[in-house]
Structure 1
Amino acid sequence: MALSDRPAERHRQVAGLFTDRVRGTKSWDAPSPVDGWTARDVVRHLTGWFPGFLASGAGVDLPRGPSVDENPVLAWQVHCDGVQAVLDDPETAYRELTDRHIGRLPLESAIDRFYTADVFMHTWDLSRATGQDDRLDPDLCARLLGEMEQMEQAIRSSGQYGARVEVPGDADVQTRLLGFIGRDPFWSAR
């Protein structure tokens, strides 16, 4: 299925796949490809950083569910539904997000660029940690890789991505994206 070019619909699709992986998780303590993280920590990351980013940059407060330690499935669902509600709100088209690192952006563009992309990439982490289908949309992989390669120095200096993992020159775009963001595309919990 091709992903939409509209931020609200793309989030619905990307977050929907992540939701499927959350619901399919059998062991929340399974190690993930992110060093030192478990499957639960992948969900903790996504539900943890974004509410503050939205609140400080756009004055948007997301609803809070239970803690990820208490109920990772419900914590994710409340969070995901809250983000979708922001994107589906017609007023969002007229709002901006301001951040000292990125300047001013239309709110829906900021959500798409920083958050939906993060959910997309972390879908692989959760899928791989829990033994689920880890294939990502190749078109979005290619788009993200192309955008990030243009600002590699800024990405590396942010501390939010690991060192590039070298992959074969003829690797598919998902493998190249994973290597670029510092994941070992061949990682296995076993």
Structure 2
Amino acid sequence: MTAELLIGPAGERIVELVQHVRTDQLASPTPCSGYDVRQLVNHLLFWGPSLEGAARKEAVLPPAEAEDAIDLTKADWSGDLTAQLRRTASAWSLPEAWQGATRMGGPDEIPASLIGGMVATELVVHGWDLARATGQQPEWDEELLEYVHREVAGHAEWGRQLGSYGPEVKVAPDAPLLDRILGLTGRNPA
């Protein structure tokens, strides 16, 4: 299955997780270093329009306010995030989204396939972060996990240089694929 066909199911999986997050869990810590659930939701809402725009080759700048400025007490954050995740997954479900180069809120062109890989990784890894913080048990299709593992393995050092990934957490080479992905991103699967 091609990458664009994997994005829709990955988006729906994280939507299911989001829809089971309770407001009283927003202060719960996540495995994503420095983020509680509220900050992770803010992160996904903040960057979602830029990721969605990149699929259409539109440079959508992030909001002028800081990433953590979205007030989740005054908005339907679950509905807003569900809608944004679905729009992003839908935009990246088109083959043309993966072709050529695109921008992600800045002037520099980046290979679209690299951004698409980032989107798939965000959906899986941040989905796992949300699930762990809220007591849920996520499951992803093996083919999606194989794709994300290739993406993360190929870009892990770059991700660490950008500060997106922490130091690698060693996991057994025969550990489940999700655990190996998490370890590469600096998360402890246990």
Please give the TM-score of this superposition, normalised by the length of structure 2: 0.74
CA RMSD of aligned residues (A): 3.3
1:154 shift after superposition: 1.9
Q: 1:5 aligns with which of 2, 6, 16?
A: 2
Q: 2:82 aligns with which of 77, 84, 89?
A: 77
Q: 1:31 aligns with which of 29, 47, 66?
A: 29
**Partner amino acid for 1:105?**
P
**Partner amino acid for 1:183?**
R
How far, CA to CA, are the matches of 1:171 and 1:134 in structure 2?
17
| Partner residue in 2 for 1:105 | 111
Q: Is the 8 A contact 1:32 1:39 kept in 2?
A: yes
What is the number of equivalent residue pairs in this alignment?
Answer: 177
SS class of match (2:136): coil
1:55 shift after superposition: 5.0
Q: Is the 8 A contact 1:22 1:73 kept in 2?
A: yes
1:46 shift after superposition: 1.6
CA distance 1:20–1:159, shift in 2 (3 Å): same
Deviations 1:97-148 (A, max 9, x none): 1367984434xx4553122321121111111111111333333223322333
Q: 2:134 aligns with which of 111, 130, 142?
A: 130
CA distance 1:50–1:104, shift in 2 (3 Å): same
Q: Is the 8 A contact 2:101 2:109 kept in 1?
A: no
| Partner residue in 2 for 1:120 | 124
How far, CA to CA, are the matches of 2:160 and 2:178 in structure 1?
19
**Partner amino acid for 2:12?**
G
Q: 1:165 aligns with which of 166, 169, 178?
A: 169
Runs of 4+ in 1 over 4 A off after TM superposition: 53-57, 87-96, 99-102
Q: Is the 8 A contact 2:49 2:88 kept in 1?
A: no
| Partner residue in 2 for 1:52 | 50
Unpaired segments ≥5 residues, structure 1: none
How far, CA to CA, are the matches of 1:91 and 1:143 in structure 2?
18
Q: Is the 8 A contact 1:124 1:136 kept in 2?
A: no
**Partner amino acid for 1:51?**
P
Percentage identity across paired residues of the two chains: 23
CA distance 1:183–1:102, shift in 2 (3 Å): farther
**Partner amino acid for 2:2?**
D
Please give the TM-score of this superposition, normalised by the length of structure 1: 0.74
SS class of match (1:113): helix
